[in-house]
Structure 1
């Protein structure tokens, strides 16, 4: 980390007011280094653009949708406009219940990105905390934490969340809870590995010699170095979280009153419209694919820069 020497660290440990300043300085230096690495990959940048696009859609969707998610469309004769193909009035057609597909798709982006971003945030918080503690203390603490991680890796995610929502209720919040409980494992492993490296740097040893507490060392000197890496894995977790929510909803365990891409696909399936109403099935499926692809490109592109050997595979 540029700009931090052993002597300056030792001098500042006796000044608590300097803790936050040093934290943000370390975070800024680490973020600048990670951003430089990230910018070298067109693949990663393209993935980030895709994710940002869907975040923007999620933010503006309530203001641009032409109809409510469950507002029925009627024909001129007064009947339901069921399974109408795309037209100027309804660019993506209507559903079996005469709902506007475009409106449901746009509002579904709001639910998808809410679950994706909040789930990824929780994954980053839990994974970073666990990895930081395990990597810093090592020994029996690290051993116990890693064994717990190994055990949780063996739990199948979808059946686990199905049991969870069956017991607690078919709520988006319960799906996010399931994501938070099981998707932090990879983040914890990566953060732990990074902490093991940072732990041996001279300025960390100088802080220990100066009598800094474990919490201060982890929060001020180590955490800023792992936050950018945790943020990267959080971006990848966005895709996993959205797929998880869509899968649970498609299986019929989601909240049917909330418009989401998974619910759209589930309704198309149960009404046997998969083979006939392509305009109802293709848009949510494509949207899920695009978000997952964006998350994959972010992670893969970054790793190819850090580990050039991946480019040869």
Structure 2
């Protein structure tokens, strides 16, 4: 009598795997934060590849790095006692030599020490004044472009009023009314150099606001602050960054101009202050070229470095300029 074997029960199939984040090379699941870091690294690598293709931009970046290193190392390169007008180590108006590579001033101080120490104040004023100007201009430009209407009209009329006024004359007026200090110079430059940034940012904001995803964000309940901070600001930042590098050069030149006119802080050493001291000491009529040339050349080189960096950044961040080159 034959016996029938029981039928084998089929093994349960594994449940299909739900789609999830992309697996990493080692089988581990990549988190959204890790994917964001990878995207940022790729974007930075692509940015550096495009930037280093611009030789002028590399030259400007190298010059800028040199000036920043000199400013940071100034406390170790120059003794504060050597900058004193009463305890100067050298003789007045000594020409360049091994002991004094750039000669001495009318007090016997080394001009090289003055240029090195003056880079701290000039670069500090340039960076901080640009920060104030760019922040104010970007804020007004985004608000005017986002809200429009009466708010945008009033803000743009105020911008136009500042734009038609001579920037240097307005800065001189502010520096004359306020106390003579580095903070006054920063404030005078910052509150007079923002209209150009505001105009550019407003135009870019209007272009961003016309894109479909802005309407989608509004339909999903996004408020004004959310749209301006999460959608508009990231799209105008490349323009703001390029404008910043260009404004630093203008701020340094304006600080030197105000110091040359005697409106700077007399207790600090800056490149414009050195030029003003050289003019008051009669270096032009006396033929003491080494007292005038180094600070003026430093101003020109640092302005050129920032301008080259700004043009290179503008070419990398602006697709139209990048395609045209």
TM-score range, shorter chain: 0.7 to 0.9
How many matched pairs?
284
**Are residues 1:234 and 2:248 paired?**
no
Of 256, 273, 288 in structure 1, the residue corresponding to residue 283 of structure 2 is 273
Instruction: Quote the offset at 1:304 in angstroms.
Output: 5.1
Q: Does 1:100 align with 2:110?
A: yes
Residue deviations 1:173-210, cap 9 Å, x none? 11111111111111111111111121122322221111
The CA deviation at 1:254 is 1.3
Q: Please, which moves more after superposition, 223-232 or 94-103?
A: 223-232
Alignment of 1:241-260 (within 5 A): 241-260=251-270
Match of 1:73 among 88, 94, 114: 88
Contact 1:86–1:93 (CA under 8 A) maintained in structure 2: yes
Residues 31 and 163 of structure 1: is their aligned pair in 2 closer, same or farther, counting only changes over 3 Å? farther
- TM, length-normalised to structure 1: 0.82
Q: CA deviation at 1:69?
A: 2.2
Aligned counterpart, 2:99 = 89
Q: Is 2:34 the partner of 1:59?
A: no
Any conservation in 2 of the 1:107–1:260 contact (CA below 8 Å)?
Answer: yes
Of 110-119 and 178-187, deviating more is: 178-187
- Report the Cα distance in structure 2 between the residues aligned to 1:208 and 1:86, rounded to whole angstroms: 67
Which deviates further from its counterpart, 149-158 or 292-301?
292-301
C-alpha distance 35-143 of structure 1, shift in aligned 2 (>3 A): farther
Q: 2:137 aligns with which of 127, 143, 156?
A: 127
Q: Which residue of 1 aligns with 2:202?
A: 192
Q: Are 2:294 and 1:283 aligned?
A: yes
Q: 1:302 to 1:144 in 2, by over 3 A?
A: same
Q: Which of residues 145, 152, 163 is equivalent to 2:173?
A: 163
For residues 97 and 202 of structure 1, the distance between their equivalents in structure 2, rounded to whole angstroms, comes to 66
How far does residue 251 in structure 1 lie from its aligned partner after superposition?
Answer: 0.9
Contact 1:136 1:199 in 2 (8 A): yes
- Counterpart of 2:308 in structure 1 is 297
Q: Check whether the contact 1:30–1:228 (CA below 8 A) recurs between aligned residues.
A: no
How far apart are the structure 1 equivalents of 2:295 and 2:101? Answer: 14
**Mapped contact 2:115–2:294 kept (Cα < 8 A):** yes
Bigger Rg, structure 1 or 2: 2
Q: CA deviation at 1:163?
A: 2.0
Q: Retained in 1: the 8 A contact 2:60–2:304?
A: yes
RMSD: 2.7
> Could you tell me whether the CA contact under 8 Å between 1:30 and 1:224 is conserved in 2?
no
Task: After superposition, give the CA deviation of every residue in 1:61-108 in whole Å (9 maximum; x if it has no partner).
Answer: 111125632253346xxxxx1011112221111100111111111010
Do the aligned residues in 2 keep the contact of 1:31 with 1:228 (CA within 8 Å)? no
Cα separation, partners in 2 of 1:247 and 1:98, compared to 1, 3 Å: same
CA distance, structure 2, for counterparts of residue 157 and residue 95 of structure 1: 32
> Relative to structure 2, which stretch is displaced further, 137-146 or 261-270?
137-146
Unaligned runs of 5+ in 2: 1-32
| Closer/same/farther in 2, CA of residues 44 and 145 from structure 1, 3 Å limit | farther
SS in structure 2 opposite 1:182? coil
User: Which runs of 5 or more residues in structure 1 are unaligned?
Assistant: 1-20, 76-80
Q: Identify the range of structure 1 (186-195 vs 302-311) with the bigger mean alpha-carbon deviation.
A: 302-311
8 Å CA contact retained: 1:34, 1:228: no
